[in-house]
């Protein structure tokens, strides 16, 4: 409600329950200003010595030089605001000092315009929202036998590595984060983050396993989106998403996953001994705001995390930014990488359509989602002997008995309740218990399930409350590409997802059900029994690219112009992932009140890579973020367990889904192979100057915008962005011929000779030089790849460069080219 007509009342009144901004026109803006942040300040201001770090070097948080210069920047921010605006007419939310130099402020659009024209101000961008990009996988990835033993076993895997998670917080009491059954943790050697106290119990959220716990909500509060009664003004997870991602990355090993009296296996994080640092910046109903997320990243890097896991992506582009690579979010992550922090980000859930990525920049590891080898199936056997396939994580009805089928719309207590959509079985008080007791209840899959106002969990609770022996949910129409995930329930139950099977069930029910002339049921004669859906079936066709996983090609701007950079980078498990859940969590209605949840999304894939990166960091503590990313990418596989090329789920006009041969736009370099990544042989390294060169040589990026975020003049010696030393080659617009250069470094302990071969789709000719090279341990060598257009098809061509070492190492990089006429 608008209370006054004048521009913007100059005070923000904070109330215990809600924060109310008296005039509705105020918004949050992220402002960057002149002067270098701590990470790149090279000196030059009287009284303040240089604080800049070399590429891949962490910030010394104990240094008085760093602390003093940080205070200086914050004071400058305050002075600028006080000079431009009267006291009380604005509210500064954050000072960004470590990775970018600027602040977040709550002001009116008119005040923002004033700031844009203020000397010393480089950019003023209106804040925008981010959203979540919503176990068996350690065994599937070979961690217990191939990786954990190299670090001393699961009880040492990830020791002293700190993984920072920018997410919805954590439920610290979950057994995945407990310390009572593990060897005591000592202090984290380099981590300096703080632990907030529970506002109710005054107990710390940290326990040795969890070493940091903070929350960031100033922008959410200023926007009027934050409700402390459900969002919790603390690191406590009110959503479930944050606990889930944290346990995938670094949850304790061997935690029994129990629900409804059944154990679904043992859960474990990728790096079960790694420490967890929580930076809560996501919330239940609205997601989060970039101003809060940037503050969380800035703090995490300053605190000394080794790895950052971000299962979040922007709702849309920032209004004032043209390039996908340059905005406060990506610029802050560039600063994080410069400080030696490896960043894994979910690629996005907009698949299977092209150009749906939400993670763009070369300094980030963008993670796509795969289906692993587990499939959960179930079946319904009708009285006429027909077997209808479906899904349902439940036990069977009694094996030797069949039960009467009763449809929810035939057992209404009152016909007037149809306005409540009783067919989706969410409200037991609408249905006749006497007609349902001892029978199987048939329900319909309404739009309410899609809108998350109905849930399979609630159907199970309704059926149980009414005395049913089980339930069936029929999907009678479905949009192309809709995927149904199995849901664990405490009662025999099945979801019939195939529309044809649902029709067969409905026809059988109608034929066997007798009615009077008004349509009222006289007798229910249809029968059936529900099978056992608890045991997974293991498929050799895994892994496959999940339908929802965002696809390339990557884009360099918000006009969707294609970039000379491959994204996603890598594929990791992200479908039907069992992991910890918060009992307060409401992100998934089927898991409200539960301790575990099995959910899907690139949100789940990113912490897999974060955890595996922690294992690599543990073995190779001095490797740069680019080196870790290279090791993951060059050793990834493009074959499934049966030795066939990876497939990708795709929508179909005639079916809910089909499978097609996957390409690098689906999986990047391929599916992660953690064992091989620990010993890659060669790496493609890159640092801050290389990323700056990529930005400077990318056509269409304003050099002033580059300087605004990097505080450095452009250097065009790289020539073309495709020369960035990444473990992939992408040319989005190849005319005639182009030669790209790559540099590899031997990180093995001995000299090795590599034979270099290449293959490409016939439309593009490919040649590598030299065809072989011998590289001593620790030495770097260059090679070139020449690509020539043979014929123009209007589509991308795919290929690879393969380097086979004499000591058994195999290094593969994908090549992606779109040829154009002269």
Q: Mind telling me the catalytic residues? A: 167, 241, 603
Contact 276, 165 (CB under 8 A): yes
R_g of the chain, CA atoms, integer Å:
28
3-state DSSP of 194-255: CECECCCCCCECCCCCEEEEEECCHHHHHCCCCCHHHHCCCCECCCCHHHHHHHHHHCCCCE
d(CA 597, CA 14): 36
Distances (CA, A) of 292 to 119, 130, 217, 302, 682: 26, 10, 6, 15, 38
DSSP state of 119: T
DSSP state of 58: -
695 by DSSP, 3-state: which?
Answer: helix
383 bridge partner residues = none
Contact 470, 463 (CB under 8 A): yes
d(CA 565, CA 553): 8
d(CA 79, CA 208): 40
Compute how many other C-beta atoms are within 10 angstroms of the C-beta atom of residue 370: 31
324 by DSSP, 3-state: which?
Answer: coil
d(CA 800, CA 768): 11
100 by DSSP, 3-state: which?
Answer: coil
DSSP H or E stretch at residue 506 = helix 499-512
DSSP string, 400-466: T--EEEEEGGGSBS-GGGGGG-GGG---GGGB-HHHHTTSEEEEE--HHHHTTSS-HHHHHHHHHHT
d(CA 624, CA 58): 11
> 368 phi and psi, to 5 degrees?
-90, 165
Burial class (CB in 10 A: 0-12, 13-18, 19+), 300: buried
d(CA 700, CA 557): 8
609 Cβ neighbours under 8 A, 6+ residues apart: 309, 344, 365, 367, 570, 572, 632, 672
d(CA 379, CA 386): 10
749 Cβ neighbours under 8 A, 6+ residues apart: 777
107 bridge partner residues = 27
d(CA 268, CA 255): 7
Q: Which of 579, 658, 550 is nearest to 237 (CA)?
A: 579
Q: Which of 256, 583, 592, 603 is nearest to 456 (CA)?
A: 592
Q: Which of 712, 38, 743, 622 is nearest to 340 (CA)?
A: 622
* Beta strand residue intervals within 319-402, DSSP E: 342-346, 365-371, 374-375, 378-382, 387-390
Q: Which of 341, 385, 394 is nearest to 363 (CA)?
A: 341
Distances (CA, A) of 667 to 252, 290, 352, 798: 29, 27, 12, 13
């Amino acid at each position: 409600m608008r209370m006054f007509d004048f521009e913007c009342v100059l005070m923000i009144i904070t109330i215990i329950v809600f924060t109310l901004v008296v005039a509705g026109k105020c918004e949050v803006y992220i402002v960057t200003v002149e002067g270098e942040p701590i990470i790149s300040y090279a000196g030059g201001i009287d009284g303040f010595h240089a604080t800049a770090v070399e590429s891949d070097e962490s910030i010394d948080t104990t240094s008085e030089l760093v602390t003093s210069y940080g205070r200086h920047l914050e004071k400058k921010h305050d002075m600028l605001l006080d000079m431009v605006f009267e006291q009380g007419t604005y509210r500064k939310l954050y000072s960004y000092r470590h990775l970018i130099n600027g602040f977040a402020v709550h002001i009116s659009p008119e005040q923002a315009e004033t700031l844009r024209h203020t000397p010393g101000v480089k950019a003023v961008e209106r804040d925008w929202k981010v959203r979540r990009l919503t176990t068996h996988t350690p065994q599937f990835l070979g961690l217990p036998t191939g990786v954990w033993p190299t670090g001393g076993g699961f009880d040492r895997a990830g020791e002293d590595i700190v993984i920072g998670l920018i997410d919805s917080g954590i439920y610290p009491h979950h057994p995945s984060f407990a310390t009572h059954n593990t060897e005591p943790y000592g202090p984290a050697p380099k981590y300096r983050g703080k632990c907030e106290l529970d506002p109710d119990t005054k107990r710390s959220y940290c326990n040795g396993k969890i070493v940091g716990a903070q929350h960031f909500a100033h922008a959410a509060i200023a926007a009027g989106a934050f409700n402390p009664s459900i969002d919790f003004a603390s690191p406590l997870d009110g959503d479930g998403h944050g606990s889930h991602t944290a346990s995938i990355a670094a949850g304790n090993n061997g935690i029994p996953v129990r629900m409804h009296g059944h154990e679904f296996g043992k859960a474990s994080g990728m790096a079960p001994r790694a420490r967890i640092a929580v930076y809560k910046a996501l919330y239940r109903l609205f997601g989060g705001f970039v101003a809060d997320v940037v503050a969380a990243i800035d703090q995490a890097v300053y605190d000394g995390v080794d790895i950052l896991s971000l299962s979040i992506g922007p709702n849309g582009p920032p209004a004032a930014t043209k390039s996908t690579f340059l905005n406060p979010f990506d610029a802050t992550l560039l600063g994080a990488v410069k400080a030696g922090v490896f960043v894994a980000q979910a690629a996005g859930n907009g698949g299977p359509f092209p150009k749906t990525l939400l993670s763009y920049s070369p300094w980030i590891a963008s993670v796509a989602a795969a289906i692993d080898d587990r499939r959960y199936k179930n079946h319904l056997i009708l009285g006429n002997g027909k077997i209808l396939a479906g899904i349902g994580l439940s036990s069977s009805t009694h094996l030797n008995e069949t039960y009467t089928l009763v449809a929810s719309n035939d057992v209404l207590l009152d016909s007037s309740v149809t306005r409540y959509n009783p067919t989706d079985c969410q409200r037991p008080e609408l249905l006749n218990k006497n007609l349902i007791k001892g029978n199987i209840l048939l329900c319909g899959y309404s739009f309410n399930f899609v809108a998350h106002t109905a849930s399979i969990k609630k159907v199970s609770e309704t059926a149980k409350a009414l005395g049913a022996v089980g339930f069936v949910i029929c999907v009678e129409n479905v949009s192309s590409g809709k995927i149904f995930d199995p849901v664990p329930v405490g009662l025999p139950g099945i979801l019939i997802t195939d529309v044809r099977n649902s029709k067969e069930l409905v026809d059988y029910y109608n034929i066997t059900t007798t009615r009077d002339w008004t349509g009222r049921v006289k007798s229910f004669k249809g029968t059936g029994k529900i099978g056992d859906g608890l045991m997974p079936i293991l498929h050799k066709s895994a892994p496959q690219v999940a339908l929802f996983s965002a696809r390339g090609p990557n884009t360099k701007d918000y006009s969707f112009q294609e970039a000379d950079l491959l994204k996603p980078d890598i594929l990791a498990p992200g479908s039907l992932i069992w992991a910890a859940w918060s009992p307060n969590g409401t992100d998934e209605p089927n898991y409200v009140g539960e301790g575990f949840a099995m959910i899907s999304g690139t949100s789940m894939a990113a912490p897999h890579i974060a955890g595996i990166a922690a294992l690599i960091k543990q073995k190779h503590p001095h490797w740069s973020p680019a080196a870790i990313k290279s090791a993951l990418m060059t050793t990834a596989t493009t074959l499934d367990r049966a030795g066939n090329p990876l497939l990708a789920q795709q929508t179909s006009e005639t079916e809910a889904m089909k499978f097609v041969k996957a390409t690098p736009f689906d999986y990047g370099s391929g599916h992660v192979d953690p064992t091989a990544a620990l010993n890659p042989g060669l790496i493609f390294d890159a640092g801050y100057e290389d990323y700056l060169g990529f930005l400077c040589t990318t056509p269409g990026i304003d050099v002033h915008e580059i300087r605004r975020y990097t505080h450095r003049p452009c250097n065009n010696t790289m020539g073309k962005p495709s020369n960035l030393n990444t473990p992939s080659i992408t040319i989005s617009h190849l005319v005639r011929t182009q030669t790209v250069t790559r540099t590899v470094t031997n990180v093995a302990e001995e000299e090795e000779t590599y034979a270099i071969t290449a293959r490409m789709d016939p439309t593009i000719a490919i040649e590598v030089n030299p065809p072989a090279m011998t590289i001593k341990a620790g030495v770097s060598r260059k090679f070139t790849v020449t690509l020539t257009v043979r014929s123009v098809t209007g589509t991308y061509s795919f290929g690879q460069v393969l380097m086979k070492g004499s000591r058994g190492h195999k290094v593969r990089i994908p090549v992606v080219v779109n040829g154009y006429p002269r």
